[in-house]
Chain A
Amino acid sequence: MSQFDLLRTPTETAAMTTPLLDVRGLSIALPPGADRPLAVDNLTFTLNPDEILCVVGESGSGKSMTAHAMMGLLPAPHVRVSGGSLLFKGKDVLAMPEAEQRSLRGGRIAMVFQEPMTALNPLMRVGRQIGESLREHTDLPAPARRARVGELLAQVGLPNPAELAEAYPFRLSGGQRQRVMIAMALACQPDILIADEPTTALDVTTQKQILDLIRSIQAERHMGMMFITHDFGVVAEIAHRVAVMRHGKLVEYGAASDVLNRPQHPYTRQLIASVPHYIEHRDDHAKTGAPLLVADKVRKVFNVGGGLFKKSKPVVAGDDLSLTIHPGETVGLVGESGSGKSTLGRSIVGLIKPDSGRILFEGTDLLALDRKGFRPYRRTVQMVFQDPYASLNPRHRVGDIVAQGPVAFGEDHGRALARARELLAMVGLDGSAADRFPHEFSGGQRQRIGIARALAMEPKLLVADEPVSALDVSVQGQVLDLLDDIRRRLNLAMLFITHDLRVAAQVCDTIAVMRRGRIVEMGTARDVFTHPRDAYTRSLLDAIPGKAWHIPDDLQKIPAGAH
């Protein structure tokens, strides 16, 4: 590439060369009996060298399927390409013999997956896993391969490459594993890098590091990159061009600045409108009356490992945790994974017994109570769980799931069921919902059931542990609105646990930031977001993807809870 070319924007350069990847009318058929006949329907787009194309869509939009088709990873024979072509440098990948396709995979086109925890073989040293690519696609001798693995690990910013190459994946953190995955993908200097939600499973600060890494490597090597994501914040951060997909169809396709700032298609507009934005903090909550819940110097230590000859290792999950929740107040507990936020939440609900400290509910110390004395408080403090797929018993009807709690506390079964129907209607499900089973509902609907179940106990305090992190962004918005609506109608107090600052900003009055088992900062949402005092809070805020992007004014919704 000449000096002259480098000065041009990627799109201009691209217009003069053949596209790296040219997808024409691609259709992928699902097996009969699936919810729709085509997973991907007549998809057409191109990817140029030195360009990041973000493919955006919610779960089930067919964005991952497209990537899988390119890599020959479709689950044959049920799911297959039924039409169209995938041209790599002008040659149809789908028409190539298997051996030639294989030489492209991992060689010319590489892929990074979403789940770093499961994407590496647990029984193989990471160096060997990276070396495998080199062994397959190059004729480097073993010592040269080892040297190259070390270089790659250093390039993706991992310390002690030589030592790390000998480690097994379970020794590494999520962020480190994702770096290893990236090193593996880069091993043979591919022309195209496909990244399928590579940062979704990571903490926000790690996400920022990985995004920076991906972006710098892409720019350095002038790779074409297809970045699959559901997060418009990430899109704003890295995309040159954007393709929005819905139900297998391409609904909008254009330069990033156009799609982000002047979205045309109603679906794109809806998606952007439901992006939580951290500017939208709420007005201060007027604290009235005595506090409903006071956590005072709560400490919990878990003992990990241990055996006949080995002492167990203490891990401090929470130390000196103090916070208060007033009636009607929503307190956000924000932190990265392992910060101890769930430990505090579970301690308040009584699922974990802290080692020391007090948890006062309306003046009564819950930790001093025995099993029997605690029982009434099981009612007044209820929990909404993270995973709506795992937290409902698949063998029970939804009506029974909701009614079970009150029945256990002596309510008449018929009356409890009638109340369950009312509650299901209140959370926006229709009347027939009570007679159906959980698997008949979508993730968002299941989370509504989970909320109805918690409300059936007529609690005063709701502990919501990451209630929306398993949901798509548009569904996420709906569930958050529902929670907020209920909170206001029933004057509920809520402890809202989340790793996502943008979500916290949307629903919380007070924010407590946790790090390594301690609360490092606590204050009103306004203070924490506009004048963060702690360096860690600042780094969290700084790591929010797409903060430089201003959501188009006509799509900014009125902040939830603003009066």
Chain B
Amino acid sequence: MLGFAQLFASRLVKAAAILIAIVVMNFFLVHAAPGDPATVMAGEAGAADEKFVTQLREQFGLDRPLYEQLGTYIGKVVQGDLGFSYRQQRPVWDILAERLPATLVLTLTAFILALAAGVALGTLAAVTVGTWADSAITVVALLAYATPIYWIGLMLSLLFSIQLGWLPAFGYETIGAGYTGLAHVADVAVHLILPVITLALFYMAGYARLTRASMLEVRSLDFVKTAKAKGLTQGRIVTRHVLRNAILPVITVAGIQAGQLVGGSILIETVFAWPGIGRLAFEAVLQRDYQVLLGIFLVTSVMVILFNILTDILYGLVDPRIQVSQ
């Protein structure tokens, strides 16, 4: 297992380097946009003169040269301090910590559901290739992939919340109900259903198509012929020989998408009024809340890197040839 530990260590070192580069780039990217928090705050305050804006800038350190601001920022980040949001008058880390769980619950549930359903449907389509079941799955996948995600969200909410009244239309929990313990979990779960399904449908479609294509390719390989010649049952051939090999490209794509899920749920969070990171990012952009925006960028970058490492490890576990070529 030495090779495994070595692989992991080398990935961590690379990840740290990448992370620093990301922090620097994010910083400049944010400052490249015109306007700063001082002008926005001054604008919101109504009658503001030049002096007030300058005073705000001095207060927040925005009048310092850019490289000095960068130095301060990196120094703080390395110490685990993401800064202070002057807009909300709270530390950035507190704001993120408040929003992160909601987003993670939403996206991870959707991701796992999408992966499971996508691989299952793709496998079913590949096994029944050319029949009505295959065509039906292909059509459904294509529709789910092509339809705008917010539209599906709106339609689902229209049907299940407004017409049928089965599920809550928006929010993270029933406001003011004050549930605790299991009742709270159940409450969140009910609120979770619609946004999760909406988000999962889109990703599921991709995984289903990918799994189907990959299975059909693997199915024609020689070792599948060997498995048939051994007299194995169809089910065993599909699960043990075809699927196991066909899943590799799905893992690659899923790994890339898993990292993006945190930032990629802005639309869903907006449609379902979900108090997550996505909406926080959106608001932060509108308010020029640099510190919060940089914090979100950092958190999502860490997620991407984390999921990439996880994917690599998973790959090494599924495919024994990977570790050797490393």
Contacts and interface: CB of A to CB of B under 8 A. Distances in A.
Interface string A88-117: 000000000000001111110011010100
B104 interface: no
Interface string B217-244: 0000111011111111100100011001
B134 to A, nearest CB: 14
A72 B222 contact: no
A505 B241 CA distance: 44
A71 B226 CA distance: 10
Interface stretch (B118-126, B270-278, B317-325): B317-325
B320 A168 contact: yes
Nearest to B229: A111
A136 interface: yes
B6 A118 contact: no
A302 B97 CA distance: 52
Given A168-B320, A170-B320, A170-B324, A119 B231 contact: no
Contacts of A181: 226
Contact of B10 (A102, A122, A136, A309): A309
Contacts of A71: 228-229
Contact of A121 (B6, B9, B241): B241
Contacts of B324: 170, 305
Given A123-B319, A168-B321, A118 B229 contact: no
B225 A73 contact: yes
A73 B229 contact: yes
Contacts of A113: 222, 225-226, 229
A305 B325 contact: yes
Q: Chain A's interface: helix, strand, loop or mixed, by majority?
A: loop
Contacts of A110: 229-230
B6 A124 contact: no
Given A118-B222, A121-B241, A121-B245, A310 B326 contact: yes
B244 A133 contact: no
A122 B227 CA distance: 12
A137 interface: yes
Contacts of A120: 223, 226
A71 B227 CA distance: 11
B318 A184 contact: no
Given A122-B321, A168-B321, A170-B321, A102 B231 contact: yes
Interface in B233-266: 233, 236, 240-241, 244-245
A104 B232 CA distance: 11
A142 to B, nearest CB: 16
A110 B225 CA distance: 12
Interface in A276-328: 305, 307-310
A297 B232 CA distance: 54
B51 interface: no
Interface in A111-158: 111, 113, 115, 118-124, 132-133, 136-137
B64 interface: no
A188 to B, nearest CB: 9
A133 B229 CA distance: 9
A137 B318 contact: no
A122 B245 contact: yes
Nearest to A111: B229
Contacts, number: 89
Given A118-B221, A122-B245, A136 B227 contact: no
Given A119-B222, A122-B223, A170-B320, A136 B228 contact: no
B225 A119 contact: yes
B244 to A, nearest CB: 5
Nearest to A77: B130
Interface in A503-527: none
Interface of B is mostly: helix
B231 A137 contact: yes
A132 B232 contact: yes
B74 to A, nearest CB: 24
B287 to A, nearest CB: 42
B321 A106 contact: no
Contacts of B233: 102, 136
B320 A105 contact: no
Given A118-B222, A123-B244, A305-B325, A105 B228 contact: yes
Nearest to A99: B233
Contacts of A105: 228-231
Nearest to A101: B231
Contacts of A111: 229
A365 B325 CA distance: 36
A132 B245 CA distance: 17
Most buried by B among A104, A133, A181: A133
Contact of A103 (B228, B231, B321, B325): B231
Contacts of B320: 123, 168, 170
Contacts of B231: 102-107, 133, 136-137
B9 to A, nearest CB: 7
Interface in A57-73: 71-73
Contacts of A184: 226, 230
A309 B7 CA distance: 9
A173 to B, nearest CB: 15
Nearest to A308: B10
Nearest to B11: A308
A137 B10 CA distance: 46
A110 B229 CA distance: 7
Interface hub of A104, A107, A115, A308 (most chain B Cβ within 10 A): A308
A170 B230 CA distance: 21
Contacts of B232: 102, 106, 132, 136
Which among B14, B230, B318, B325 has the greatest number of chain A C-beta atoms within 10 A?
Answer: B230
A137 B321 CA distance: 30
A133 B228 CA distance: 10
Interface of B: 6, 9-10, 13-14, 221-223, 225-233, 236, 240-241, 244-245, 318-321, 324-326
6 cross-chain pairs, A with B, having the tightest CB-CB distances, nearest first: A106-B231, A105-B231, A106-B230, A118-B222, A111-B229, A121-B223
20 contacts: A71-B228, A71-B229, A105-B228, A106-B229, A106-B232, A110-B229, A113-B229, A118-B221, A119-B222, A119-B226, A121-B240, A122-B223, A122-B245, A123-B245, A136-B233, A168-B320, A170-B324, A308-B13, A309-B6, A310-B326
Given A72-B228, A121-B245, A122-B321, 15 more contacts: A73-B229, A102-B231, A104-B231, A106-B229, A107-B231, A110-B229, A118-B222, A119-B223, A121-B240, A123-B318, A124-B240, A136-B233, A136-B236, A137-B231, A310-B6
